[in-house]
Every structure is written in C-alpha cells, then in structure tokens.
Amino acid sequence: MTKDKNPLCLVSRRLCVAPRSVAALALAALLAGCMVGPDYHTPAPPPTDTYTTAPLPDQTASAPGASGVPQRFAPGEDIPAAWWSLFHCEPLDALIRKALANSPNIASARAALRESRENLRAQFGGSLLPRVDAQLNATREKFNGITFGEPQFTEDLNLYNSSVSVSYALDLWGGARRGVEAAQSQVDYQRYQLQGAWLALTANIVTAAVKEASLRAQIEATEAIASEEDAQLTLLKKQFELGGVGKTDVLTQQTLLAQTRASLPPLQQQLDAVRHQLAVLSGSPPSDPTLPEFRLAMFSLPQTLPVSVPSALVRQRPDILAADATLHQASAQIGVATANLFPQITLSASFGTQSLTPADLFRSESAVWSIGAGLLQPVFHGGQLLSQKRAAVAAYEQADAQYRQTVLLGFQNVADSLRALDHDASGLLARTDAWQSASDALEMARGQYKLGGVSYLSLLITQRQYQQTVVDLAQAQAARYADTAALFQALGGGWWNDPLPETAAVQ
C-alpha cells in the first residue's frame, strides 16, 4: 500500500480545519484528478529463484516399463493450456472436454463472473455519470388560504406536472472512482475463480482417472494371485488325499486364498467410488454408461516437465491472482472510506411544466425550472467515518497477510510436487527391483517345494511377499502419473495460453 503523493490531495485533507474556497478547490481537484487513498501495486514475490533447498537433478531415475521413463525438468519452459494432453490419452481428453462443457461448477463460476461484470457497469454508471429522470404527476388537492390570512378561502384543484431532472455528484476526492476500482477488482477475482475452477476440474479428472487405472491394476493383480493360490490349493488337496501333505497345509492355503479374496471388495468399492466421482466431475450422473474405463497402459508419462520460475508463479496460479484481486479491492475501499471524510458537492437541475389542466401542461407559460448545487460536509458522526476508514485499513492488512500466505502455500505445492516426482522415480525403481526379486523367489520356492526342498511355510511366506510387491508396484506406477498432474496443477495449469476469451484471464 502506497501513500498519496498528489499535493492537492494533501490540501484536501485539511479542508475541515483550514477552510478554503470550495469552488477553487473543486476546480483544482477536478483538473488534477485527485483520488484519496493508496494507489495499489501488487506486492513483490518472495526473493528466491528456487523452490527447494537442494537443487533438482537434471532428470529423474529410470525404471523398466512405460511408467519408468526418466523425466527431465525444464526450468522456464511454458505450460500448454491443455496440459493433460501430454499424457496422450484420447479417452481422457474427451472426458475433460465433456466436463468443461457440462460441469455445474464451471457454469456457476461463469455466472458469478457475469454478475460481477454487471455490478461493475452499475457501479460505473451510478457513480460517475449524471442521473437523468423523467417524471409525470397528476394530483388532486384541497387548498386553503390560512397561510395568507384568508381562512375562509378554500378551493379543490387538480395539479399536473411533467419534468426532467438531472443530478451529478462531483467526484472531487475520487471516492466514486475508487468504488469503480473496487468493483473492477471483484471482476478480476471472479475471473480468477473461474480459472481456478477450470484448473481444479481438469486436475481432479486426471487424478481420478489415474487412481482408477491404479485400482484396476491392483484388482487384476490380486485376482491373478488368487487364481494362482486357488490352483495351489487344488494341488495341495490332491497331495493331502494321497497322504503327501498334512491337513494343516491345506487349511493354511485356504486361509491365504480367503484373505486374498477378502482384499478384493475394498478395492472394488474404491473403484466404484472413483468411477462415480469421474461421472459427476464430467457433469453426468454416476450411472452414465458412456464413461470410459482407464488403465495405466493408456497413459504416456510426460518426459519433459516445464517448471516456471518462482517470480512467474505469482502471475500464473489462479488462487494467488484471486488473492491479489482481493487485496486490490481492499486497497480501493480505503480510498472510498477516506473520500467519505471530505465535502461532497452535488449539482442538480430540472425543467418541466406545471398546470391545472392537462391541456395547459405543455404551454410555454407553464414552464418551471430549477438549478442548484449542494455541499455536504461531515461534521459529527460519532466517529463513524474515521472508524470505517480504520476498519478499511485493517481489512487491507488482513488481505495482505492472506495474500502472502497464499503465495507461500503455492511455493510449497510446487516444491512438494518436484520432490515427489524425484522420489517417485526412485521409489518405482526400488519397487520394480523388489517385485522382480519376489517373483524370482516365488518361482524358485515353488520348484523347490515340489521337490521337497523347502517347507510349505517357506513357500507361504514367499507368496505373501510377492503379493505385497505386486500391489506396491501398481501404486508406485500410478504415483508417477498422479504427481505429474499435481505439478501441472501447482504451476497453474497453463490457462494463460487458452484461446477461449471466456476462460482466459487478463494478465
């Protein structure tokens, strides 16, 4: 928040204690365009050029498979508006296009933006332009002469009046213009809220689609394990009938199979829930039969990750820009509250006709007119106006603190996403190694068990380890896609490259 530097504004503040020529001061203020209150400037971003304390690697670790390709960080590169297209999944593209067209949240944000624009037009027209009103009246009244000392004189008469009146409040101190500035800030806020809704919707759909693919992979892996365990149980039953194994081994295998099958319903419930979420996000009921099914093989992991520099992040994230618009509005409200402390001058004029009969209403001798000016100087309001100004300053300080907190959280989101991507790649490599080792160990244990080289308990432990690595691997693969989407969301999603004027915000 900056101080007023216009000397005429400083003079105007002394009007109450040092009276001057009102006409000369008004003319000087109009010529100088004086506006009391602070002139707003967006706060400077945090003085840093990095998001994390330790530097990022040039690229992440690599692991076997499509989900394990290394990703390269590209500082300063731009983000496409349709950032989700970098996953090269056509069903995902189609679902997001459908969601952007049908989402109630997007429709609500667009309506709120239109409302704020109309309020801006109303604020501008109502405070900066003259008011012109036309009026036509017809009244019947009883007149007596008591006022003139003739109480015996009475008469019933009809009175007809037509007039046009004009009034204009001089915006000497810029209060009206500050009000328009505040209304424009509200338009900016709603515009960035629309961008935020757009970004949240697209990111939520990508994340939900990846989660669905991960759950399908976990379900398919669990079903395959259950099938193998069922085949193992059948073999054990035959061995038991031949006296090759004890009843305990059969019961243990039955328990293992039951536990594996018991893990399926929770996974299927999560899958149903995420499917319902995807349908609602796309603007359809959960029963939508056209909803595509997602699997990890449908996604391609983006190998180049644009990373905006910190100074650009504050001009990209919709939540930071919305907080900036709120701060701007609070700054303008200080000017409105300050202007209310000073004299208000209103000019008015009217012209019309007045007669006792409709036929005479438009005769030249029936013309009436008036012209005037009014000066309103607040003298004593019980401290109301000063308290309102102090409240406006406190509201600005609150908005400033909220803005700085929003910026810090934005930086934190980016830092978390960058570190998550680095750790995800290393984690996937470790999970892949663990799965490969567990797979080899299980195959070896099964062969040794058939030859009597290991006990059934050893085989059981190996099966359990393998089952856990299969689920862990599917989760690690999905994490790379989900955290890639989280990075694009944390960086703002590239809305500034959107060619659609309804969703593109003013930079």
pLDDT tens profile 209-234:
999 999 999 999 899 889 988 988 99
- Average pLDDT of span 334-348: 93
What mean pLDDT, rounded, does the chain reach? Answer: 87
Q: What is the Cα 450 distance to its own chain's centre? A: 61
Report the Cα 284 to chain-centroid distance in Å.
22
pLDDT of residue 89: 96
The set of long-range contacts for 395-401, using a CB threshold of 8 Å and a minimum separation of 24, is 395/330, 395/333, 396/1, 396/327, 396/330, 396/331, 396/333, 396/334, 398/330, 399/323, 399/326, 399/327, 399/329, 399/330, 400/1, 400/43, 400/327, 400/330
Between the CA of residue 252 and those of 81, 247, 255, 348, 453, what are the distances in Å?
A: 55, 9, 5, 97, 19
pLDDT of residue 15: 35
**Domain spans of the chain, in order of start:** 87-129+173-287+314-341+381-507, 130-170+343-377
Whether residue 414 is predicted with pLDDT greater than 80 in this model: the reply is yes
CA–CA separation, 187 vs 333, rounded Å?
15
Q: Are 190 and 116 in contact (CB under 8 A)?
A: yes
Token output for 273: 């829930």
- Nearest C-alpha neighbor of 78 from the set 408, 419, 300, 316: 316
CATH number for the region 87-129+173-287+314-341+381-507 comes to 1.20.1600.10
Q: For position 362, what pLDDT does the model report?
A: 79
Q: What is the mean pLDDT of residues 270-289?
A: 95
372: β partners: 348
Q: Specify the higher pLDDT residue, 418 or 21.
A: 418
Instruction: Specify the pLDDT at position 479.
Output: 95
For residues 107-135, b (16+ Cβ closer than 10 Å) or e, as one string? eebbebbeebbeebeebbeebeeeeeeee
Nearest to 277 by CA among 449, 103, 418: 103
Both tokens of residue 504? Answer: 């593109």
The answer to which of 39-43, 102-106, 151-155, 326-330 has the lowest mean pLDDT is 151-155
Note if the pTM is more than 0.75.
yes
For 224-343, strand residue ranges (E) read 304-307
Whether pLDDT at 377 is above 80: yes
Q: Tell me how far apart the alpha carbons of residues 507 and 494 are, in angstroms, rounded to a whole number.
A: 12
Query: Does residue 157 contact residue 143 with C-beta atoms inside 8 Å?
Result: yes
Contact (CB, 8 A) for 192 and 112: no
- Look at residue 17 and tell me whether its pLDDT is greater than 60: no
| pLDDT for res 499 | 54
Per-residue pLDDT band for 498 (boundaries 50, 70, 90) equals confident
Using pLDDT thresholds of 50, 70 and 90, give the confidence band for residue 33: low
Residue 83: pLDDT over 50? yes
Coil/strand/helix, residue 467: helix
Q: Return d(Cα 383, Cα 74) in angstroms, integer.
A: 57
Position 106 scores a pLDDT of: 94
Please give the sequence-ordered ranges of beta strands (E in DSSP) within 356-463, or none if there are none.
367-376
Other beta carbons within 10 angstroms of residue 47's beta carbon come to 7
Range among 38-47, 135-144, 223-232 rated most confident: 38-47
Q: Which residues lie across from 369 on neighbouring strands?
A: 351
Q: Find how far residue 121's CA is from the centre of its chain.
A: 24
Worst-scoring range by mean pLDDT, 71-75, 388-392, 462-466? 462-466
128 or 155, higher pLDDT: 128
Q: Is pLDDT above 80 for 354?
A: yes
- For residue 250, with 0-12 CB atoms within 10 Å meaning exposed, 13-18 middle and 19 or more buried, which class applies? middle
What is the average per-residue pLDDT within 103-115? Answer: 95
For residue 242, give the DSSP letter. Answer: T
The candidate with the shortest Cα–Cα distance to 72, out of 54, 56, 60, 88, is 60
In the prediction, which pLDDT does 141 show?
Answer: 81
14 vs 19: CA distance, rounded Å: 8
pLDDT single digits (tens) 187-199:
999 999 999 999 9
Architecture of domain 130-170+343-377: Single Sheet (2.20)
| Average pLDDT for 416-430 | 95
> Under a CB-based contact definition with an 8 Å cutoff, are residues 494 and 81 in contact?
yes
